[in-house]
Structure 1
């Protein structure tokens, strides 16, 4: 591990400590309290908070069927079993709702087993990756909507994909980008000036690594994929932030 930033908050008191460097190279800048990180799945609860704020204002409701904004969802098919061929499907037993997306029980999500559905997700470019998805939100949804659900809505749990579907829904329900919704409702009011869907200051960005059998492998350099606004603002894991903001 090249470095760290740790934050602890008790009541109104916060302590932030940093050590090491932002990359493995010995000449790389030191970690500091304001170093930027890709916060990955911490984006999900922040997306849930954003959704609840829209519910509070009456824009949408927890049990609204999502086909109000994503009409293709009304035609979704469900696999007869998770490992079935993609053409072995049955009708929806109930509509997919916003509640299903928030609780990751919609039937869309990460299929870890080698199944026809997993292979179709990989081929279609919608299987989760640590790097930004290189397609628009509408194209992402169009691809996901063309695949069957792994189970009936509410009858199982699959991580990840439903949050990105929710992100597309929120932009359609409001006519506003996720960046602007966060700025208006979450990051702006809370003073989270370092939180966005890309690095607000590339000079403060840490490198990202993946562990492997031979140690750490560079996945994304500080000036890499998260240094610029993405094509698709992913509610499943697209935010960049600091320990202080989070």
Structure 2
């Protein structure tokens, strides 16, 4: 039986999936709450990581070591950049991830990790600096499945940040560094750990807000996390035939 792990930073971002799959809490999870279900001929594990890159990386490492998954899906909400084609309530599918904060502030401006020649990962003939690759086949199939299910979705690069962008100017600054459709706080950490372990990784997020001058009246967090979980519930129905799953 194949094994798929779904991670999110908060309980809210997993709650509807736990209900949809009738997942039950696994005993002995320790500091990392894990729920288990079977669906579509696959074992599904759901893990609430906590927010931020440190929590996400620690959780992803523990999950890879303990459960040896065939696929990791990282989900939750995200903020869409201007010009991405995304609106609140849409879905964003990552074709790559990026550590958008890691780098060097120089007199002439911000530069990435390649400036100092220190990769975040080096092995298997790869040197990764800020950009973390994701499985393109898995991402494209997810995008196709979203379109077939009537979900509005856009695929593109995601940027992972330590500080959420609360101004349009900050969003413009990030886009000058790297192309992107969506920002979040955990995705690149999960993607990097998955890459290190050779596990395919899919990241799908619901858009809760635009990256603009912060105005909570324009946010819809409940709609964002509800929409992406509704999609993933459909996606996981055919878990046994997902690409990359053996």
Q: Relative contact order: is structure 1 or structure 2 higher (C-alpha 8 Å, sep ≥ 6)?
A: 2
TM-score, reference length from structure 2: 0.26
Structure with greater Cα Rg: 1
Q: TM-score, normalised by structure 1?
A: 0.26
